[in-house]
């Protein structure tokens, strides 16, 4: 991947809630810029938009679009009583977690509303009638095995040959973190359709070869 071009972000990325390491975010930015010649970009799991700003900023630079798929009700670990619950994102009226207002505000602050297309729906529902070929798919949704496998099976088939699949939170050693992203990473390699390009911390970047 091209690494010489400095990245251009429209705001201080640390003002956005999220769990993406800056090195991983910069890798996503460069990957989205490179993949823009192949088709639109799609991410599964936007949360409050940290990864969306990296990806969307590259799409704006390249006059491309980013589809941001998230039901905005939070993953398992974001629910009340769980490790990553954030009370600021809990809607007292509905008694549900809701990150969409925060996400939308961040897209407006970043000036990305012309390039980022939010799709507020579960991943499988959004994919049900999807037909648009994609240059890059970034998977960072629910980390249960069922959710991760659903995301992989729903979206990887839409990546064009030469396009990219990026998977976040890959931990080969169970002591370091959950195994669901690592399992779909192994599924992708075992399929014979993807090859590893590089690992950036916990971000696995694969290319579709057929």
Query: pLDDT tens digits for 190-201?
Result: 999 999 999 999
Domain count, the chain: 1
Is 51 among the domain residues?
yes
Active-site entry in 85, 143, 158, 168: 143
How many angstroms separate the CA atoms of 208 and 96, rounded? 38
Structure tokens, 44: 């599964």
Query: pLDDT tens digits for 30-60?
Result: 999 999 999 999 999 999 999 999 999 999 9
Is 28 among the domain residues?
yes
Residue 153: band (very low, low, confident or very high) from pLDDT cuts 50, 70, 90: very high
Is 152 among the domain residues?
yes
What CATH number corresponds to the domain at position 129? 3.40.50.150
**Structural contact between residues 74 and 48, judged by C-beta atoms closer than 8 angstroms:** no
**Residue that the structure tokens 């507020």 belong to:** 120
What DSSP designation does 49 have?
S
pTM: 0.93
How many angstroms separate the CA atoms of 98 and 95, rounded? 9
Structure tokens, 20: 């993406």
**Structural contact between residues 54 and 32, judged by C-beta atoms closer than 8 angstroms:** yes
83 phi/psi in degrees, rounded to 5: -60, -40
Is 16 among the domain residues?
no
Residue 83: band (very low, low, confident or very high) from pLDDT cuts 50, 70, 90: low
Is 119 among the domain residues?
yes
Per-residue pLDDT at 155? 98
Range of the domain at 79: 21-208
Is 10 among the domain residues?
no
**Is 168 marked active-site?**
no
How many angstroms separate the CA atoms of 22 and 161, rounded? 28
What is the strand order of the sheet 116-119 is part of?
116-119, 66-69, 41-44, 134-139, 159-167, 203-208, 194-200
Residue 88: band (very low, low, confident or very high) from pLDDT cuts 50, 70, 90: confident
Is 69 among the domain residues?
yes
| Position 86 pLDDT exceeds 70 | no
Is 163 among the domain residues?
yes
């Amino acid at each position: 991947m091209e690494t010489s071009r400095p990245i251009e972000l429209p705001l201080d990325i640390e003002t956005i809630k999220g769990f993406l390491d800056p090195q991983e975010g910069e890798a996503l930015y460069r990957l989205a810029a490179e993949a823009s010649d192949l088709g639109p970009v799609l991410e599964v799991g936007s949360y409050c938009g940290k990864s969306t700003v990296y990806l969307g900023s590259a799409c704006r630079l390249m006059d491309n679009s980013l589809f941001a798929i998230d039901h905005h009700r939070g993953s398992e670990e974001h629910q009340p009583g769980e490790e990553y619950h954030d009370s600021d994102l809990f809607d007292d009226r509905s008694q549900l977690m809701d990150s969409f207002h925060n996400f939308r505000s961040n897209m407006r602050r970043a000036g990305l509303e012309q390039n980022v297309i939010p799709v507020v729906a579960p991943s499988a529902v959004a994919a049900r009638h999807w037909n648009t070929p994609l240059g890059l798919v970034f998977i960072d949704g629910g980390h249960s095995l069922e959710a991760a496998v659903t995301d992989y099976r729903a979206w990887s088939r839409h990546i064009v040959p030469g396009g990219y699949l990026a998977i976040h939170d890959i931990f080969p050693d169970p002591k370091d973190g959950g195994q669901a992203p690592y399992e779909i990473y192994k599924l992708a390699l075992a399929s014979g359709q993807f090859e590893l390009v590089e690992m950036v911390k916990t971000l696995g970047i694969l290319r579709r070869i057929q």
